[in-house]
Amino acid sequence: MISVDAHRETVTGLLGNAPVIRLPLASAAGLVLAEDVRAGVSLPPFDNSAMDGYAVRAEDIAEVPVTLPVAEDIPAGRVDSTKLEPGTAHRIMTGAPMPPGADAVVMVEHTDGGVTDVRILRTAVLGAHIRRRGEDVVEGTVALSAGTVLGPAQLGLAAAVGLAEVPVYRPLKVLVVSTGTELVDAPEPLRHGQIYESNSIMLASAIRALGCEAEVVRSVVDDVDEFRSVIEPRLAEVDLLVTSGGVSAGAYEVVKDALTGQGVEFRKVAMQPGGPQGCGRWNGVPVVTLPGNPVSVLVSFEAFLRPALLAAMGHAGVDRQKVRARLTESMTSPAGRRQFRRGFYTHSEGEVTGIVGPRGGPGSHLLASFTQANCLIVLPEDVDSAEQGDEVDVLLL
């Protein structure tokens, strides 16, 4: 048996780094910036008004009330330059360029709102309500650094500094394949001995949630020739093949039988659930083979694929947040294996540690209880039982 950490490292190494491509901003949400990007313009690009009001010289309104002639009207978007003469005001809107000669803005609420003459009711300090050029970002400086995850604020800034495209790690294309002669796609009715196929939607949605692309081949029967002929031609289009089922110790283990000796190694990982695992390359394409039980599939995804895919896509933080929590009931764990149990974690205000209780038993077919879990409880290899009140590690999902 190999350790969870060793297998995770192998899978992460197998994937390496995704290629860098330039994508339009609209296609880059959630991806990671692969290079520093510099601002093509300063933000703001010019001194402008922070208020709807009147651009003035502060010294002209040192005594109020005072009435000034309105010499210009400057809406946002006016691109010619207007010069403010002493003793006059320009009506100005939020975001409009400050006229040279003006050194303050009086908000419209502090005036009578006049359009030919304006009566100003309050004084203003020098620089009042002026947003200065470069206050936010200076042209030519790094606006977003390599490694930044492009969320709404980051994409907004990229757009504001004039970028149409950004260099990002390309979303990996993953081919998800479920194996098993017993698998049926709804709404076809089940015959005795058949089950509905559920792993592919779990894996595909989990993979897509990381920003990767997933293609699915649902239900390849347990036949080595069939598996090879359906999957092998599709390898060229993808960065990774992920299979479920057909890797354990029985007969008719289609994935194991098809890929042994082809560059994929099958091993037992010291964990529960999810012991039987495999990885390697088939025709040069990375392959990760997961066991078939649905809970094993999701736990294996958490333990191996999620960190490996995130790392390949340039993310620095690939681990789930880990907290300590007190068990609400006792649990057992197989000696020598790391156990991942579905759990529910709560943390009440004022408490130092939260509490956690298992949801469902350890059985790897118990998918319904997974839907009620918000965490995985981790019992390490050297622990075979934990009592109520003991502190344990919890991975928040």
Among 97, 99, 171, 180, binds Mg ion (CB under 5 A): 180
Q: Which is nearer to Mg ion, 53 or 246 (CB)?
A: 246
Tokens matching residue 323: 């907290």
Tokens matching residue 80: 């010619």
Least distance to ligand AMP, CB of residue 222, Å:
8
Total number of residues shown for the chain: 397
**Which residues, at least 6 apart from 140, have a Cβ–Cβ distance to it below 8 Å?**
38, 39
Least distance to Mg ion, CB of residue 180, Å:
4
Least distance to ligand AMP, CB of residue 296, Å:
8
Integer Cα distance of 389 and 67 in angstroms: 76
Q: Say if residues 82 and 140 touch (Cβ distance below 8 Å).
A: no
Give Rg (Cα) of the chain. Answer: 31
Least distance to ligand AMP, CB of residue 182, Å:
5
Tokens matching residue 297: 């599939």
Q: Say if residues 379 and 339 touch (Cβ distance below 8 Å).
A: yes
Q: Which is nearer to ligand AMP, 39 or 290 (CB)?
A: 290
**Interaction residues for Mg ion, span 287-316 (CB under 5 A):** 292
Task: For strands 385-386 and 240-244, give the pairing.
Answer: unpaired
3-state secondary structure of 382: coil
Tokens matching residue 46: 């010019």
Residue 314 interacting with ligand AMP (CB under 6 A): no
Least distance to ligand AMP, CB of residue 238, Å:
19
Integer Cα distance of 56 and 33 in angstroms: 43
Stretch that binds ligand AMP, among 37-45, 71-79, 137-145, 241-249 (CB under 6 A): 241-249
103 binds, among ligand AMP, Mg ion, none (CB under 5 to 8 A by kind): none
Size, binding site for Mg ion by CB under 5 A? 4
Least distance to Mg ion, CB of residue 215, Å:
21
**Interaction residues for ligand AMP, span 292-311 (CB under 6 A):** 292-294
Residue 275 interacting with ligand AMP (CB under 6 A): no
Residue 343 interacting with Mg ion (CB under 5 A): no
Q: Say if residues 120 and 64 touch (Cβ distance below 8 Å).
A: yes
Binding site for ligand AMP (CB under 6 A): 178, 180, 182-183, 195, 197-199, 244-246, 248, 291-294
Binding site for Mg ion (CB under 5 A): 180, 245-246, 292
